[in-house]
Structure 1
């Protein structure tokens, strides 16, 4: 390390620590980041693969700086997870002990005594969640300037988990409010293993000034991928039935997992909490039958803290093998030790998510990263619907993996207006300052470089008016904004500090009979069809107040491709799916069955001449084959809905209920949309229901709710660009498939 210029820039005490720990040298990401962070006069994003040393790339130079600058003695580390804070505490305390720098974990499980000690002497490293930082600003008011005056850096871990979310907007606001309180710009360091467009990430970290970028190359470890296909026979085809809700494929997958994973640590990612429970049960039943110790542990957000901690502890200990069956709760950087392989059951939520998950594997020197994928398709018969014929799950999984291998992943979403979080930050700022003039609040939060600079003065005034009408806010005789009677109760409730709402599912009810619950991730309208419990239902009414969807059995027609849940798909993924359908050769990461699924999907695509089709006649409804992402497709659906059609997004494009209208009417309307001026957002979403997505959306006026929904969920520009690209020649020359052929 003596030849390393970056190493020689570190404090001698840190150098001695690294020698004592047996470091052979700094990693590439550290060599690049150390001089940038040491200058302490710029923002830096450090993007590199998991276990590449990003944390040290930030903290080694940051600690060197505060050792050399006694007046700047605090590093504020912001983490999305309490468990990650606990991990970093043990990791940093060992380093900082010899430097005589205190490390302070701060979240809901930390004692008040420890927090008081930090407040009395706010130096060292503060490891804190956004919610705890929010509470600090609310409750310590004018003391904030003194508390954070010595802050040298903000370090934001798992940056990708914040970008484009309400929680990310909260973090932006908190850092900005502290900057304003201390009267200077505190450098920000963002750490992430998964970033798409680095310029968008930089804009998130600091919207109004340049950001230094460290995009370290991959370590080059070997990557092994195998996707296995499993076919689910139609009910009644043979006499054997499974205990898994009448399905045989999950049993076969569990048996294969038991065979290949036993004796090692792994992560299994099904696509829902229900599937986590299913596979944990199946795998541990196999352990019991084999009379071997339990090796499979569940981990998802609905489980108690104790159960999740039990799973994390099982993964960390070295005496016995342990595999977690989990949702995205274990995607982030909690230290769970070495993981031999990552398993994805079903279609990955996104390329970025799969990349993050795969980063858990292959962390030991010389070990490959291993991804095992499993896809389930129904057997083909004369009743198979279009989705089954096209083998959509297999093709989308293959598309995601092929993009992963090309090192592409979704860019951050940064265009949302986030009115819900603005409500929270407005109430929080009023609590911090003991009241604010409206003009001061607008300058603080909505004027650049404020975090809500997309909100206009007119929109802010409307928000104040609406909050005043609901007694969320009040004004005294001098015009000072204060929390109203209702707002005071909100701010003083422990749940206020979190920007995200707890998961809410809609109850599905038919003729007064509850059918179950369904998570809904897109807007819905009466007349739309949904798939639930293996049947197709028609939405009769949406009761948003009671989170209930009233349905009746749908008569005739193929089932919809939308089932109410799942991550939003990017245009690049859909376009890659189309490329795979048009392709000829095998994919090296598919096993024989999965490759057969792909070949069957290609044959169906060719037979139905889908390469040339834009509007697919399905009898009772039509599908507009856009090959766009969900945000653009939903915008097109809104355009059609605003003109009297019943339209919604599906996995192939936009589904349009015929309801007596001809295909020529649909074509004509699409042409009119492409040529017409853009409608106002209020008009576009006039018939939309279920727009409340974020925690405080229910406090917004309908006008503001529509605008905040559109800004985060609709890509109107891409939708219009596509519509104009097909008008008029391609749409007029479209070939239709009779419904009996599908």
Structure 2
């Protein structure tokens, strides 16, 4: 190629391209690029200027990495030694490894060294970087935390000439403990260097760009330049396939080969699972794909089923599991096989492959079950449709066969309607804004201990000044910080010397010296479930527990009698009456108000999306028929199956708030998707709602008295109970929304109780 790339509109030579260093220009020519992509064009000038914070939001595989590093490398091309000049922070080691390979190719001819730093990098490589700092450093937040503690004040020399910080997969950090840790580290980095370092955020999924800007530069989000690529609107192929559980004729409906038919017949109770597996096998075999199965259990289930089908057809296995519990070697082997393209490979995975790990282009993406969110669907879909091909998404959805005693949520097909609502919102370009309401006291514990370890001791006023007023913990008042420090002192995490210096206490030293300290998040703990002194099994508990709530375990409904936090034991009794609803519990606060509003719109409309197969259309119509039969277009309160069902059509945060308000009145309540089921009569429920309205918005922190295990995050056990309640309320409750929902429910309650059979 003898001429520079032109602008993306096909016009004259790119003026932005001319700003790049000549050696960077030659690298672009060597790639055979005919033009820069729009996000690359617009990013060059502001990033190369070296003074502005910038967010680049564009679809997956749109060239965001090059958009950031073409101008950064142009700045670094003349003299990249003496200090690390740019830091790239990624959420996954595998992503860092991929970007390392990409950047090495770009930087090889520019004389810019590229370094990796994470747990799998040899100590020899790390030692050489510490002795001869230079170029670009790719690192995780946890490894950057370790550098602060282990290098202490010497870190300033390592980063003395730092010019840029790039944060990849920005959306994955917003609203999380890990994201708060990252904000703190970036703030401490600038305090160490005593100057501002421009930040560049990269993301394919940002529901609220202004909130993302506030996250990238807390307190000055309005000054962040937001660059969004309009491209990525290529062809989309979408299908939602419906399945009924325990269906006797699944073999014929799938139309599978005889060997697959025999597999389907093995277990009639899971005929829908076998039918989904058979369709995945027939559709995906011979190509490269990603199958998102939501849980690790389902990943193993479908990966094993698909492997068996390969063996029955006497074919080499094409399907491999990929989740966080697998060893690094197994995960990387699966990723490498998909990326190599030497043979057909499909990975059955959890959220681990939502991130930008380079597994190359895949022909399609499959989603088994309800996706966690619209943003998650958008991120997953972005893994398909690269290199000009269509983006293909298949959603496999299971619904229970209805009987005379089916729970009302199953009759309404709420799971199917939620999937359709999410797809409709995906098609119009909406996704959930990230949450930024938490106080993050758990991460504040970690950052206080880290600062003390970094400097050997600090004054309380210095810690507050460094982390709170202009830092990531700006919501923490001086009074709350004093209470917070007293709690850490009582827990022996820190002690105070006679001159007021904070030092690590006995427990604090043990925590900081443990290898797990650098991570702000903790693995979900397993609780033992017991009924009548008989152990039922164990399950991970990362949701709030309170006496009177319901759990689903082993295909049965149970009511919580007691929770013993120290022993990690939950006492249960069989829940009275009713079948187990098929709607699986999601995370508290997980579903947004907009999704529930879209569900109600779908129930009331006659829209039949073209992407639904015949069975999914039937299931949709069944849900609408139930919606109409119960008069839910006119009323939002009905009595069914021995309980009162409330339909406020709001997100999980409001539903959880209402749930706790009823629990506080000794009225057992249970969130089932969009439905809040309350034990009692309709009159009793409406009386309770009137009291909620009359009292005004509830005190959020008082509602947390119902919750036994508020200490969910890693260091919550060391946080003062009052502060912990405040953090829980900020994360998971919406008292204003619950107050308004109570008013709407009373206006549309429906008067007399209504009780109709399902048929």
TM-score tier by shorter-chain length is: over 0.9
Query: Residues 418-453 of structure 1: CA distance to partner in whole angstroms, max 9, x if unpaired?
Result: 000000001001111111111111111111x21100
Between the aligned partners of 1:489 and 1:19, the Cα distance in structure 2 is 54
CA-CA distance at 1:724 after TM superposition: 4.0
* Unaligned residue ranges in structure 1 (runs of 5+): none
Between the aligned partners of 1:409 and 1:294, the Cα distance in structure 2 is 36
Between stretches 349-358 and 309-318, larger displacement belongs to: 309-318
Which residue number corresponds to residue 442 of structure 1?
464
User: Where in structure 2 are the equivalents of 1:364-379 lying within 5 Å?
Assistant: 364-365=387-388, 367-379=389-401
CA-CA distance at 1:159 after TM superposition: 0.3
Query: Residues 251-280 of structure 1: CA distance to partner in whole angstroms, max 9, x if unpaired?
Result: 111111111111001001112111111101
CA-CA distance at 1:73 after TM superposition: 5.8
CA-CA distance at 1:282 after TM superposition: 0.7
1:38 to 48, 61, 70: 48
Between the aligned partners of 2:79 and 2:691, the Cα distance in structure 1 is 65
User: Where in structure 2 are the equivalents of 1:278-427 lying within 5 Å?
Assistant: 278-365=301-388, 367-427=389-449
Which residue number corresponds to residue 217 of structure 1?
230
Which residue number corresponds to residue 264 of structure 1?
287
1:106 to 96, 117, 134: 117
Verify the 8 A CA contact 2:39 2:64 in the aligned structure 1: yes
Between the aligned partners of 2:582 and 2:396, the Cα distance in structure 1 is 20
CA-CA distance at 1:608 after TM superposition: 0.9
TM-aligned CA distance change 1:527 to 1:145, over 3 Å: same
2:600 to 578, 593, 610: 578
CA-CA distance at 1:234 after TM superposition: 6.8
Between the aligned partners of 1:533 and 1:242, the Cα distance in structure 2 is 23
CA-CA distance at 1:50 after TM superposition: 0.2
1:172 to 159, 162, 183: 183
Which residue number corresponds to residue 493 of structure 1?
514
1:451 to 462, 466, 472: 472
1:698 to 699, 711, 717: 717
Which residue number corresponds to residue 723 of structure 1?
742
Secondary structure in structure 2 of the residue aligned to 1:5: coil
2:669 to 641, 647, 662: 647
Query: Residues 449-480 of structure 1: CA distance to partner in whole angstroms, max 9, x if unpaired?
Result: 21100111111111111111111111111111
User: Where in structure 2 are the equivalents of 1:582-731 lying within 5 Å?
Assistant: 582-658=604-680, 662-726=681-745, 729-731=747-749
TM-aligned CA distance change 1:176 to 1:484, over 3 Å: same
TM-aligned CA distance change 1:234 to 1:335, over 3 Å: closer
CA-CA distance at 1:584 after TM superposition: 1.1
* Unaligned residue ranges in structure 2 (runs of 5+): 7-12, 252-260
1:460 to 470, 477, 481: 481
Query: Residues 367-415 of structure 1: CA distance to partner in whole angstroms, max 9, x if unpaired?
Result: 1010011111122232322122111221111111111001100001111
2:567 to 536, 542, 546: 546
Which residue number corresponds to residue 91 of structure 1?
102
Between the aligned partners of 1:520 and 1:617, the Cα distance in structure 2 is 31
CA-CA distance at 1:516 after TM superposition: 2.8
Aligned length: 735
1:515 to 529, 536, 547: 536
Verify the 8 A CA contact 2:323 2:352 in the aligned structure 1: yes
Between the aligned partners of 1:465 and 1:376, the Cα distance in structure 2 is 51
Give the superposed CA RMSD: 2.1
User: Where in structure 2 are the equivalents of 1:244-255 lying within 5 Å?
Assistant: 246-255=269-278
Secondary structure in structure 1 of the residue aligned to 2:279: helix
CA-CA distance at 1:122 after TM superposition: 2.3
Between stretches 523-532 and 238-247, larger displacement belongs to: 238-247
Which residue number corresponds to residue 298 of structure 2?
275
TM-aligned CA distance change 1:236 to 1:371, over 3 Å: closer
Verify the 8 A CA contact 2:100 2:115 in the aligned structure 1: yes
TM-aligned CA distance change 1:162 to 1:90, over 3 Å: same
CA-CA distance at 1:616 after TM superposition: 2.3
2:455 to 426, 433, 455: 433
Between stretches 145-154 and 189-198, larger displacement belongs to: 145-154
Between the aligned partners of 2:731 and 2:89, the Cα distance in structure 1 is 24
Is 2:240 aligned against 1:227?
yes
Is 2:200 aligned against 1:183?
no
Q: TM-score, normalised by structure 2?
A: 0.93
Secondary structure in structure 2 of the residue aligned to 1:247: helix
CA-CA distance at 1:560 after TM superposition: 5.3
Is 2:551 aligned against 1:530?
yes
Secondary structure in structure 2 of the residue aligned to 1:25: coil
Secondary structure in structure 2 of the residue aligned to 1:721: helix
CA-CA distance at 1:165 after TM superposition: 0.3
Between the aligned partners of 1:158 and 1:72, the Cα distance in structure 2 is 25
Verify the 8 A CA contact 1:612 1:735 in the aligned structure 2: no
CA-CA distance at 1:200 after TM superposition: 0.6
User: Where in structure 2 are the equivalents of 1:130-149 lying within 5 Å?
Assistant: 130-149=141-160
CA-CA distance at 1:183 after TM superposition: 0.3
Verify the 8 A CA contact 1:558 1:618 in the aligned structure 2: no
Secondary structure in structure 2 of the residue aligned to 1:191: strand
Which residue number corresponds to residue 7 of structure 1?
17
CA-CA distance at 1:646 after TM superposition: 2.7
2:755 to 716, 723, 738: 738
Verify the 8 A CA contact 1:351 1:401 in the aligned structure 2: yes
Between the aligned partners of 1:649 and 1:703, the Cα distance in structure 2 is 26
Verify the 8 A CA contact 1:234 1:378 in the aligned structure 2: no
Verify the 8 A CA contact 1:167 1:499 in the aligned structure 2: yes
Verify the 8 A CA contact 1:54 1:191 in the aligned structure 2: yes
Verify the 8 A CA contact 1:363 1:369 in the aligned structure 2: yes
Is 2:150 aligned against 1:129?
no
CA-CA distance at 1:321 after TM superposition: 0.4
CA-CA distance at 1:739 after TM superposition: 6.4
Verify the 8 A CA contact 1:44 1:212 in the aligned structure 2: yes
CA-CA distance at 1:523 after TM superposition: 1.7
Query: Residues 80-138 of structure 1: CA distance to partner in whole angstroms, max 9, x if unpaired?
Result: 00001111111101111111010010000111111111122322100000000000001
Query: Residues 659-695 of structure 1: CA distance to partner in whole angstroms, max 9, x if unpaired?
Result: xxx4323212222222324444432211212222211
CA-CA distance at 1:725 after TM superposition: 4.4
Secondary structure in structure 1 of the residue aligned to 2:16: helix
Between the aligned partners of 1:247 and 1:277, the Cα distance in structure 2 is 15
Is 2:493 aligned against 1:480?
no
